[in-house]
Chain A
Amino acid sequence: GAGVSQSPRYKVAKRGQDVALRCDPISGHVSLFWYQQALGQGPEFLTYFQNEAQLDKSGLPSDRFFAERPEGSVSTLKIQRTQQEDSAVYLCASSFDRGFYEQYFGPGTRLTVT
């Protein structure tokens, strides 16, 4: 079956622009996670949804970062007024149920802020 898909795969933004990154989780998966991965590092947790509810946003680095999942399926991570330090790969993962087992990751969106 189809895995987690993310779009765009690559995004170049000028400093100060707003960007929106999309995640399509595996159909039927309740839980959805966003992670940020800097070059050469492991992913870092940003935020978590269970269905449409955002239950944890403790990892969002600033109030410029905003995520939503209005219908409990597709999710969008929005970054306002991008800064160079926002350059990273943004990974989305989904899992069948709440919890940490069997998270399936998408290929990520590589964001470069110039």
Chain B
Amino acid sequence: TQLLEQSPQFLSIQEGENLTVYCNSSSVFSSLQWYRQEPGEGPVLLVTVVTGGEVKKLKRLTFQFGDARKDSSLHITAAQPGDTGLYLCAGVWSGGGADGLTFGKGTHLIIQP
């Protein structure tokens, strides 16, 4: 069974602070995605990374894919209350297997005004 571990599980910080959340596996991904989910809604795709070492930016969010394609990070600069939500990473492994995405358990992020 392929596992994706996300850390921290919970994070509560003040508006304006910076933060980083992590997604790790012992296996190599062929691609990895980050989603954000708000209560009562489905996950919304933020970014897909494919190439080892790849960095993508989405406004104040910076996504990095590890060189070995086993890990990824999401960095948020100057967090705002609107960033509050559940951040999920989801991967597809190089070895194939099930056709669906495998998700981590998520990081519950709360940005306090």
Contacts and interface: CB of A to CB of B under 8 A. Distances in A.
A binds B: yes
Interface of A: 4, 33, 35, 40-48, 55-56, 58-59, 91, 93, 98, 100-108
A16 B108 CA distance: 33
Given A35-B100, A41-B106, A100 B42 contact: no
Contacts, number: 71
A56 B105 contact: no
Contacts of B101: 33, 43, 45, 100, 103
Contacts of A58: 98
B48 A102 contact: yes
Nearest to A106: B42
A106 B42 CA distance: 5
A99 to B, nearest CB: 8
A22 B99 CA distance: 21
Nearest to A45: B100
Most buried by A among B31, B45, B90, B101: B101
Contacts of B44: 105
A58 B92 CA distance: 15
B92 A100 contact: yes
A91 B101 CA distance: 12
Contacts of A105: 35, 42-44
B99 A42 contact: no
Interface string B80-95: 0000000010101000
A3 B40 CA distance: 15
A94 to B, nearest CB: 11
A107 B41 CA distance: 4
A103 to B, nearest CB: 7
